[in-house]
Amino acid sequence: MVKSGMVIDPETISNLPQLSELRIDVRPADKRWDDSVEAVVKEWILHNWSDGHCVKLLKNCYKAIPDDGKVIVLDAVLPVIPEPNGFVRAASVMDFQMLAQIPGGKERTKQEFEALATQAGFSGIRYECFVCNLCLMEFFK
């Protein structure tokens, strides 16, 4: 159980009822890391960056958390085989927007998130919950 963590945008995740079961203490992030931090939350951040930049960002998070800490990622997850529903279409449209507007930015599949986590040194990922086309993922040391 996480006792404390850092969140860049607490208003967004505070409205997700599924998170109350996880007992996450939500507080805004400082400009610096704090010794009491057990988890770092990244919301819609990784899709803005290339794989290389994501690995660099995740490695910095890895260094900042204790051995039993985690990085919590809230991002869209693309299915390997597209499904005919609005959530997948929205994620696919966002993927095209990232391609057109941000060099290296893209939406990722579960396998791509697992590869990023492994390259950054994490031992595994747990997919906690899906809300619309977003997935709450926990990256463990």
Q: Report pLDDT for 44.
A: 64
Looking at the predicted structure, is the pLDDT value of residue 84 above 90?
no
Domain map (residue ranges) of the chain:
5-140
| pLDDT per residue as tens digits for the range 106-141 | 888 899 999 999 999 999 999 888 777 678 899 998
Mean pLDDT taken over the chain: 73
User: What is the pLDDT, as a whole number, of residue 64?
Assistant: 81
Residue 36 CA from chain centroid, whole number: 20
CATH superfamily of this structure's domain 5-140: Vaccinia Virus protein VP39 (3.40.50.150)
pLDDT at 1 over 50: no
pLDDT value, residue 43? 60
pLDDT at 12: 54
Mean pLDDT of the 65-93 span: 79
pLDDT digits (tens, 9 = 90+) for 8-28: 455 555 555 555 555 545 444
42, 47, 106, 108: the catalytic one is: 47
Residue 47 bears catalytic tag: yes
